[in-house]
Structure 1
Amino acid sequence: DPVSGGDLAVLVRTHREARLMQEELRRLQVACVYYSQESVFAGDEAGQMYRVLAALTEVADEAMVCDALVTDLFGFTGDSLHAARSDRKEWAAIVEELQGYHSTWLGAGLTAMFHALLVRRGIVGRLLAAGGGERKLTNYLHLLELLQDASAGCRADDLVRWLGQQIHRPAPETSSQQLRLESDENLVKIVTIHRAKGMEYPIVFLPFLWGVRQIQPDEIFAFHDQHTFQLQVDIGSAREENHRRAEQERLAEDLRLLYVALTRARHCCYLAWGRINFMEKSALAWLLHRADGDVVPADALTDEKIGNDIQKLNDGEELVHFVPMPAAGEAGDSEEFRPPPPPAALTFSGRIDTGWSISSYSRLASSAVPGPVPPPAPERAEATEMSVFTFPRGPEAGNCLHGLLETLDFSAIPGGQAANLIPERLRTAGINERWAPVVAAWLEQIVETRLMADSELRLKQLPGRDRLTEMGFYFPVDNLQMPVFNGILAEYGFEPVVAGSSLLNGLITGYIDLVFRAGSRFYIIDYKSNHLGSGYPAYTPGPLREAMRAHRYDLQYLLYTVALHRYLGRRLSGYDYARHFGGVMYLFLRGMHPDLGPGCGIWHERPDQVLVARLDDCFGRPEGRR
């Protein structure tokens, strides 16, 4: 097949280099796309969307309406806006149109309103007919999706305020905010080397490998102590050793990035190289042009020397072809260039064990026989008050709550740390900061709730030294016979797992939200933000039992129990399951309240000791276990 734009990738180090390549390719009318991690809220479209939505909430404000009309969405020019304002009949029609959009927004939602605007104003065709229109349209639709997600429980003016906050404090590290590609099917891709990690492209161009950002002795720089590996910051000590160490670390990082860049091509990689100012400080010069351990200075490198050093890479077969750069104005095609024949591929004669795999609770649960789905709890009509039951649902909201509980000191809730962290976590999750007081009170309820019927223990009482947050684990699985495993589950009333193979080898992996010690016993906690209903009765033992089975949390806590059982068996002298393991607690956060105690929102289970031992044996007992 002929080479198309979609086969080509240009890898760069910085956003400045990316913009430079993008501008030059567009000047040459080469269609290209820049893969960036910028936030959609940092773009011009976000500001224009804000002006339109703000005007729809204040249609009587003529200045705000004018501001909205000159956006890309309405497309008015200065002349057409002046003409509209001079014609009372036309202006009244425009105001009536905007009032209609506002009514649709309040009645049918933001998405319905925006689609009506797209159709009536012919926005799609108008944008696509202009340069960069596909990028703009993609951004508008992306913004619409984020606004729709944030609109739950929000009034129109609250949503406009939220959008303004995102524009002033965009979070490009949040995946949901990162710019989406408009269409990259046949476009030359411009990608930063950092983002290209793990990717592969048919043909790669590396135009800036000679570039380097040296660390200057008179600037503030960081390095690591060569003995303790602690991070050090030099703010002007003038110590040559510090600067030398920082330059070594800079070169090491450049070498790592060079490796990434040179290994992204599937078929062919082009790079520009030659005598360029400061190129002797680059990672590629360090690899190609060293003599007696030092890089040869750029002014001592002739074209012949550069060619010879590159030719040394062709040891045994021609892997690298050296072509002089054509002078400015010459034809791009060099008659001297004759692509070398592709290297012969080696024949793989080994054997790959496809029966070995890494499994987890979620993977096993996806193939498990599902438990009965609990019936939805009756909802209260028009429940618009802000409470734990109306708090946004979904993975972003769940991650927000998990992050708070993993980070905060339970004994300091409520307090300054929580007051500062809660709004930040809400912003990152794309949730309106108006929820901050609700979340603060909610967290206080959670840490003040008794965890067990026969104990006064609360999360608030757990010191940091007795907590192990986000405990990751891997434990080996050696010839796990799935019929035997399912037979053990059935004996104890658990649903079976339907695996793709009757034999499982490899590793079981997972992360336990919290392991804590109380007295001589260790406990497992898993946080669940599931919405089971809009009242505390939906979080009593009966509904919790159904939720545990429906989502296969029973399988999850058995795996977690085996993992902690093995961990304690290796680490705790004289470990005994009966004396040292206190059980598993699933905290359904929406149902926890100090007045209701452990009978609401908390599922506490201590798997039978014989069951845990049999599962441990079934997985294959690792060496070194007590």
Structure 2
Amino acid sequence: MAQACADEIARLLQLAQQGQAGFAINDDIKSLQPADIAILVRDRNEAALVRRELSARNVRSVYLSDNDSIFQSAEASAVLTWLRACQQVEDESLLRAALALPLSSNSDAQLSHWYNDEQAWEQLTEQVRLFRQIWRQKGVLAMLSSWLHYFSLPAKWLAQEQGERRLTNVLHLAELLQSESQQRDGESGLLRWLAEQLQSPKSSDEQQLRLESDQQLVQVVTIHKSKGLQYNLVFLPFICGFKSVKKGQPQRYFNGTEMVLDLTPDDAALQSAERERLLEDIRLLYVALTRPVYACYLGLGLFSEGNAKQSKLSQSALGYLLGIGEQPTLTELQQVLVRLPWQAQPLPAYGKLTAPADTAQLTSALTLKAALKREH
């Protein structure tokens, strides 16, 4: 489903570049843009799956979630490790751990050079001492900026998939740390605060993940986040998926008068919980289906889990509303779809999106000419 979704989006965007796909508005044609497209998903796992397929087709995207905290990111853990190494530069094990992180983007050859060349290691530790001095004199934001540029991390990341996301997260963390440092007692207090945030991330507006770019990107959005919003084209590749109630696990359900949390549910309780699950899935389906302005693509097919021989499509919200039987066949599914005013058809495979010739290039940064006023 993720591959079919990405194929169709790449095909549409390629047609748009050729002037063959757009929206008719007041006798004019508005060309289709990536930001016109939204892919609605349930969680980060579905988002990662479809974004990987989009990236393989040269289609850039951004993930929008309603509850992701910056402190849940891999970058937050890496920044904490960097800061600890900087604060305690005499502890070689901390610096080695910081340099070996995947996010530090150091090759095996570079690490070996530092570890085995005593002079190179001494030069590096002296540089880290300078970082600590910058931290104490100018603040943690300046120190992290110096760290990034000394190791050429922005250039390394931006050459990789999701590199822009990494850079945005680190800069966001640097800003939060700089602001929090004014309320904390020294470096140790700030590190304790950051470690606490990693253990118990909150969901304040300041801590929610930021968009990595304001460019034209396909939007991958959680269904919850999409409430009240509209998108010109909506793709629902995983809309038939669901998480059925599992035996042996506590269940939450409504017993007619109040919500119940049953720690040892029996068969009747499991049936009630399964009904609650289905009702919630139907509500989410309604939200998803009412987001598009012009068109909505649904990933619909017979699927099974594990070694099961029968499809579970009937247990999904869409299968339930379509009246799919408990043991559906492909013929039955096709007959159901024929009765609907939908264009049910397999999507053609498509290759990579060709970048337009007039892709905007980065321009030189502006030069600050005014004098800076410093407070002591």
What is the TM-score of this pair, normalised by structure 2?
0.74
Is 1:263–2:284 an aligned residue pair? Answer: no
Listed one character per residue, the Cα deviations across residues 423-468 of structure 1 (whole Å, up to 9, x for unaligned) are xxxxxxxxxxxxxxxxxxxxxxxxxxxxxxxxxxxxxxxxxxxxxx
Equivalent positions of 1:581-600 (< 5 A) are: none
What SS does the corresponding residue of 2:232 show, helix, strand or coil?
A: strand
Partner of 1:493: none
Is 1:204–2:271 an aligned residue pair? Answer: no
1:93 to 1:271, Cα distance in 2 relative to 1, 3 A: same
Equivalent positions of 1:436-455 (< 5 A) are: none
Deviation at 1:71, TM superposition (A): 4.3
Partner of 1:168: 199
Listed one character per residue, the Cα deviations across residues 508-541 of structure 1 (whole Å, up to 9, x for unaligned) are xxxxxxxxxxxxxxxxxxxxxxxxxxxxxxxxxx
CA contact (8 A) 2:252 2:259 kept: no
What SS does the corresponding residue of 2:296 show, helix, strand or coil?
A: strand
1:282 to 1:87, Cα distance in 2 relative to 1, 3 A: closer
Is 1:324–2:351 an aligned residue pair? Answer: no
1:331 to 1:253, Cα distance in 2 relative to 1, 3 A: closer
What SS does the corresponding residue of 1:310 show, helix, strand or coil?
A: coil
CA contact (8 A) 1:34 1:189 kept: yes
Equivalent positions of 1:52-201 (< 5 A) are: 52-71=82-101, 75-152=105-182, 153-171=184-202, 173-183=203-213, 185-201=215-231
Equivalent positions of 1:28-39 (< 5 A) are: 28-36=57-65, 37-39=67-69
Listed one character per residue, the Cα deviations across residues 63-82 of structure 1 (whole Å, up to 9, x for unaligned) are 22222333467643332233
CA contact (8 A) 1:40 1:179 kept: yes
RMSD: 2.7
Listed one character per residue, the Cα deviations across residues 292-349 of structure 1 (whole Å, up to 9, x for unaligned) are xxx54452662442133313xxxxxxxxx323225xxx5459xxxxxxxxxxxxxxxx
CA contact (8 A) 1:52 1:68 kept: yes
Structure-2 separation of matches of 1:2 and 1:188: 15
Structure-2 separation of matches of 1:167 and 1:216: 30
1:46 to 1:266, Cα distance in 2 relative to 1, 3 A: same
Q: Which amino acid aligns with 1:323?
A: A
Partner of 1:280: 314
Listed one character per residue, the Cα deviations across residues 74-108 of structure 1 (whole Å, up to 9, x for unaligned) are 64333223323444443332222211111121112
Equivalent positions of 1:511-526 (< 5 A) are: none
Structure-1 separation of matches of 2:332 and 2:108: 59
Structure-2 separation of matches of 1:298 and 1:70: 52
Q: Larger radius of gyration, structure 1 or 2?
A: 1
Structure-2 separation of matches of 1:143 and 1:325: 44
CA contact (8 A) 2:250 2:261 kept: no
Structure-1 separation of matches of 2:196 and 2:205: 18
Structure-1 separation of matches of 2:149 and 2:247: 60
1:309 to 1:163, Cα distance in 2 relative to 1, 3 A: same
Structure-2 separation of matches of 1:309 and 1:298: 20
CA contact (8 A) 1:74 1:123 kept: yes
Q: Which amino acid aligns with 1:324?
A: Q
Structure-2 separation of matches of 1:114 and 1:106: 12
Deviation at 1:232, TM superposition (A): 5.0
Structure-2 separation of matches of 1:252 and 1:54: 48
CA contact (8 A) 2:75 2:103 kept: no
Partner of 2:74: 44
What SS does the corresponding residue of 1:186 show, helix, strand or coil?
A: coil
- Mark the runs of 5 or more structure 2 residues left unpaired by the alignment: 1-29, 304-310, 352-375
The 10-residue stretch of structure 1 (56-65 or 254-263) with the greater mean CA deviation from structure 2: 56-65
CA contact (8 A) 1:38 1:178 kept: yes
CA contact (8 A) 1:223 1:231 kept: yes
Partner of 2:307: none
Equivalent positions of 1:607-622 (< 5 A) are: none
CA contact (8 A) 1:222 1:246 kept: yes
Equivalent positions of 1:423-572 (< 5 A) are: none
Identical-pair percentage: 34
Q: Which amino acid aligns with 1:164?
A: A
1:155 to 1:7, Cα distance in 2 relative to 1, 3 A: same
What SS does the corresponding residue of 1:196 show, helix, strand or coil?
A: coil
Q: Which amino acid aligns with 1:251?
A: L
Structure-2 separation of matches of 1:164 and 1:194: 29
The partner residue of 1:2 within 26, 31, 36 is 31
Structure-2 separation of matches of 1:117 and 1:332: 42
CA contact (8 A) 1:41 1:166 kept: yes
Listed one character per residue, the Cα deviations across residues 451-498 of structure 1 (whole Å, up to 9, x for unaligned) are xxxxxxxxxxxxxxxxxxxxxxxxxxxxxxxxxxxxxxxxxxxxxxxx
1:162 to 1:310, Cα distance in 2 relative to 1, 3 A: same
1:65 to 1:256, Cα distance in 2 relative to 1, 3 A: same
1:234 to 1:252, Cα distance in 2 relative to 1, 3 A: same
Q: Which amino acid aligns with 1:166?
A: Q
Q: Which amino acid aligns with 1:322?
A: Q
CA contact (8 A) 1:6 1:184 kept: no
What SS does the corresponding residue of 1:11 show, helix, strand or coil?
A: strand
Listed one character per residue, the Cα deviations across residues 108-148 of structure 1 (whole Å, up to 9, x for unaligned) are 21122223333444332232223322111111111111211
